[in-house]
Chains A and B, each alone.
Chain A
Amino acid sequence: MSLVRKSAAELGALVASGDVSAVEVAQAHLDRIAAVEPRVNAFLHVDAETTLAQARAVDARRAAGDDLGPLAGVPIAHKDVFTTTDMPTTAGSKILEGYRPPYDATVTRRLREAGLVILGKTNLDEFAMGSSTENSAFGPTRNPWDLSRVPGGSSGGSSAAVAAYEAPLSTGTDTGGSIRQPAAVTGIVGMKPTYGGSSRYGLIAFASSLDTPGPFARNVLDAALLHEAFSGHDAMDATSIDAPAPSVVEAARQGEVAGLRVGVVREFGGEGYQPGVLARFHESVELLESLGAKVVEVSCPSFTTALPAYYLIAPSEASSNLARFDAMRYGLRVGDDGTRSAEEVMALTRAAGFGPEVKRRIILGTYALSSGYYDAYYGQAQKVRTLIARDFEAAFHQVDVLISPTTPTTAFPIGERADDPMAMYLADLCTIPANLAGNAAISVPCGLADEDGLPVGLQIMAPVLGDDRCYRVAAAVERALEDRWGGGLLSKAPGL
Chain B
Amino acid sequence: MPYDEALERFEPVLGLETHVELGTASKMFCGCPTTFGAPPNTQVCPVCLALPGALPTTNATAIESTIRIGLALNCSIAQWCRFARKNYFYPDMPKNYQISQYDEPLCFDGHLDVEVNGEVVRIEIERVHLEEDTGKSTHVGGATGRIHGADYSAVDYNRAGIPLVEIVTKPVPGTGGLAPEVARAYVTELREVMRALGVSDVRMEEGSLRCDVNVSLMPRGSSEWGTRTETKNVNSLRSVERAVRGEIERQAAVLAGGGKIVQETRHFHEDTGTTTSGRSKEEAQDYRYFPEPDLVPIAPDVAWVARLKAALPELPRLRRGRLQREWGVSDLDMTAMRNADAVDLVEATVAAGAPPADARKWWMGELARRANELVVPLAELPITPGQIARVCALVGEGALNDKLARQVLEGVLNGEGSPDEVVAARGLRIVDDEGELSAIIDRVLADNAAAADKVRGGKIAAVGALVGGVMKASRGKADAARARTLILERLGVSE
Bound complex: CA of A236 vs CA of B53, how far in Å? 11
B85 within 8 A of A: yes
Contact (Cβ within 8 A) B294 A202: no
Q: Which listed segment binds A: B2-10, B90-98, B449-457?
A: B90-98
Contacts of A235 in B (CB 8 A): 57
A205: chain B residues within 8 A (beta carbon): 53, 294
Verify B288–A371 contact, CB threshold 8 A.
yes
Q: Is A295 an interface residue (CB 8 A)?
A: no
Question: What are the residues of chain B within 8 A of A374 when measuring CB–CB?
Answer: 288, 290
**Is B89 in contact with A329, judged by CB distance below 8 angstroms?**
no
Inter-chain contacts of B89 with A (CB < 8 A): 323, 326, 343, 346
Judge whether A320 and B52 touch: CB under 8 Å.
no
Contact B290 A320 (CB under 8 A): yes
Q: Looking at the complex, which one of B51, B94, B153, B294 makes contact with A208 (CB distance below 8 Å)? A: B294
Complex formed: what's the CA distance from A82 to B96 in Å? 21
B46 on the interface (CB 8 Å rule)? yes
Q: For the complex, what is the distance from the CA of A328 to the CA of B137, rounded to whole Å? A: 13
Across the interface, which residues of A come within 8 angstroms of B57, CB to CB?
235-238
Residue of B nearest to A372 (CB): B286
Chain B residues near A103 (CB-CB < 8 A): 46, 51, 54
Nearest CB of chain A from residue B296's CB, rounded to whole Å:
6
Chain A nearest CB from B12 CB (Å) reads 29
**Would A99 and B52 count as touching, CB distance under 8 A?**
yes
Q: Does A386 contact B (CB under 8 A)?
A: no
Q: Quick check: A201 and B50 within 8 Å, CB to CB?
A: no
- A-contact bits for B279-310, CB 8 A (1 contact / 0 none): 00000001011100111100000000000000
Given A239-B296, A371-B288, CB of A83 within 8 Å of CB of B56:
no
Q: Name the residue on A nearest B44 (C-beta).
A: A329
Establish whether residues B94 and A102, one from each chain, have CB atoms under 8 Å apart when the complex forms: no
Residue of B with least CB distance to A202: B53
Smallest CB-CB separation from A81: which chain B residue? B53
Within 8 Å CB of A320, what residues of B?
85, 87, 97, 288, 290
- Nearest CB to that of B153 among chain A residues? A342
Q: Does B58 contact A (CB under 8 A)?
A: yes
In the assembled complex, A316 has its CB within 8 A of some CB on chain B: yes
Tell me, in angstroms, the Cα distance from A310 to B95 when the chains sit together: 23
Residues of B within 8 A of A475 (CB): none
> Min CB distance, B61 to chain A, in Å?
16
Contact of B95 with A323 in the complex, beta carbons under 8 Å: yes
Least CB distance, A304 to chain B, in whole angstroms: 24
B53–A369 CB distance below 8 A: no
Closest to A210 in B: B293
Q: Is A204 an interface residue (CB 8 A)?
A: yes
Task: With A323-B87, A324-B95 as known contacts, state yes or no: A203 contacts B290, CB within 8 Å.
Answer: no
Interface residues on A, range: 35 or more
Q: Do B51 and A237 touch (CB < 8 A)?
A: no
B491 part of interface (Cβ distance < 8 Å): no
The yes or no answer to B55 lying at the interface (CB within 8 A) is: yes
Say yes or no: is B399 at the interface (Cβ < 8 Å to chain A): no
Does B394 belong to the interface (CB within 8 Å)?
A: no
The dominant DSSP class at the B interface is: loop
Given A239-B296, A323-B87, A378-B290: A101 and B53 within 8 A (CB)? Answer: yes
User: A208 and B293: CB pair below 8 A?
Assistant: yes
Chain B stretch 329-369: residues in CB contact (< 8 A) with chain A: none
CA distance A30 to B286 in the complex (A): 51
Complex alpha-carbon distance, A113 and B382, angstroms: 54
Q: A323-B89, A326-B96 are in contact. Are A89 and B52 (CB under 8 A)?
A: yes
Those of B41-68 within 8 Å (CB) of chain A: 46, 49-58
**Within 8 Å CB of A343, what residues of B?**
89
Give Cα A330–Cα B94 distance, bound, in whole angstroms. Answer: 11
Chain A nearest CB from B125 CB (Å) reads 25
B94 CB contact (under 8 Å) in A209, A324, A378: A324
Which residues of chain B come closer than 8 Å to A316, judged between CB atoms?
290
A378 CA / B289 CA spacing, docked (Å): 11
- A482 nearest CB across to chain B (Å): 37
List chain A residues, Cβ under 8 A from B153: 342
Do residues B55 and A328 form an inter-chain contact, with CB atoms below 8 A?
no
Instruction: List residues of chain B with CB within 8 A of the CB of A342.
Output: 91, 153
The answer to whether B52 and A328 touch across the interface, beta carbons within 8 angstroms, is: no
Q: Is the CB of B295 within 8 A of A238?
A: yes
A316 to B84, CA, bound (A): 13
A342 to B93 CA separation, bound complex (whole angstroms):
12
Residues of chain A within 8 A (CB-CB) of B471 are: none
- A346-B89, A370-B288 known; A203-B58 Cβ under 8 A: no
Closest to A324 in B: B50
Given known A-B contacts A235-B57, A320-B85, A371-B288, A83 and B52 have beta carbons under 8 A apart: yes
Give B104 Cβ to nearest chain A Cβ, in Å: 14
Partner of B96, one of A202, A237, A324: A324
Contact A238 B50 (CB under 8 A): no
CB distance from B316 to the nearest CB of A (A): 35
Q: Does B155 contact A (CB under 8 A)?
A: yes
A320-B290, A323-B87, A371-B286 known; A83 vs B53 contact (CB < 8 Å): yes
Docked-complex contact B53 and A201, CB < 8 angstroms: yes
With known contacts A238-B294, A369-B288, A200–B55 Cβ distance under 8 A: yes
Tell me if A401 is interfacial: C-beta within 8 Å of chain B: no
A202 CB, nearest partner CB in chain B, Å: 4
**How far apart are B140's CB and chain A's nearest CB, in angstroms?**
13
> In angstroms, how far is the closest chain B Cβ from the Cβ of A275?
39
Residues of chain A contacted by B52 (CB below 8 angstroms): 83, 89, 91, 96, 99, 101, 204, 324-325, 330
Docked complex: A53-81 residues within 8 A CB-CB of B: none
Contact check, B96 vs A102: say whether CB atoms are below 8 A apart. no
Among candidates A209, A238, A346, residue contacting B56 with C-beta atoms closer than 8 Å? A238
CA separation between A374 and B287, bound complex, in Å? 11
Contact B296 A238, beta carbon cutoff 8 Å: yes
Q: Does B53 lie within 8 Å of A204, measured CB to CB?
A: yes
Q: CA of A203 to CA of B51 in the docked complex: distance in angstroms?
A: 11
Q: A83-B52, A205-B53, A235-B57 are in contact. Are A102 and B46 (CB under 8 A)?
A: yes
Residue of A nearest to B295 (CB): A238
A317 at the interface (CB under 8 A from B): yes
Contact A239 B294 (CB under 8 A): yes
Q: Is A435 an interface residue (CB 8 A)?
A: no
Contact residues in A for B289 (Cβ distance below 8 Å)? 369
Give complex CA distance A453, B469 in Å: 121
B97 touching A329 by the CB < 8 A rule? no
**Which residues does chain B contribute within 8 Å of A378, judged by CB atoms?**
290
Q: How far is the CA of A447 from the CA of B155 in the complex (A)?
A: 57
The answer for the CA separation of A96 and B87 in the assembled complex, in Å, is 22
Give, as a whole number of angstroms, the nearest-CB distance from B75 to chain A.
25
Q: Of residues 299 to 354 in A, which have CB atoms within 8 Å of B's CB atoms? A: 316-317, 319-320, 323-326, 328-330, 342-343, 346
B147 to chain A, nearest CB (A): 9
Closest beta carbon of chain B to A158's beta carbon, Å: 17
> How many angstroms from the CA of A418 to the CA of B94 in the assembled complex?
33
CA distance A89 to B286 in the complex (A): 32
Q: How far is the CB of B48 from chain A (nearest CB, A)?
A: 11
**Chain A neighbourhood of B46, CB < 8 A:** 101-103
Bitwise interface map of A from 190 to 208 toward B, beta carbon under 8 Å scored 1, else 0: 0000000000111111011
Interface string of A377-412 (1 = CB under 8 A from B): 010000000000000000000000000000000000
**Complex CA distance for A75 and B87, rounded to whole angstroms:** 41
Give complex CA distance A96, B57 in Å.
25
- Do residues B55 and A237 form an inter-chain contact, with CB atoms below 8 A? yes
Closest 3 CB pairs of A and B: A323-B96, A208-B293, A369-B288
In the assembled complex, 17 residue pairs joining A and B whose CB atoms fall closer than 8 Å, in A order, are A83-B52, A201-B55, A202-B53, A238-B56, A238-B57, A239-B294, A239-B295, A320-B85, A320-B87, A324-B50, A326-B96, A328-B155, A329-B50, A330-B52, A342-B91, A343-B89, A378-B290
What 14 additional pairs, Cβ within 8 angstroms, besides A83-B51, A204-B52, A207-B293?
Answer: A83-B52, A91-B52, A101-B53, A201-B54, A203-B53, A235-B57, A239-B295, A317-B293, A320-B87, A323-B97, A326-B96, A328-B94, A328-B155, A371-B288
Which B residues are within 8 Å of any A CB, using their own CB? 46, 49-58, 85, 87, 89, 91, 94-97, 153, 155, 286, 288-290, 293-296
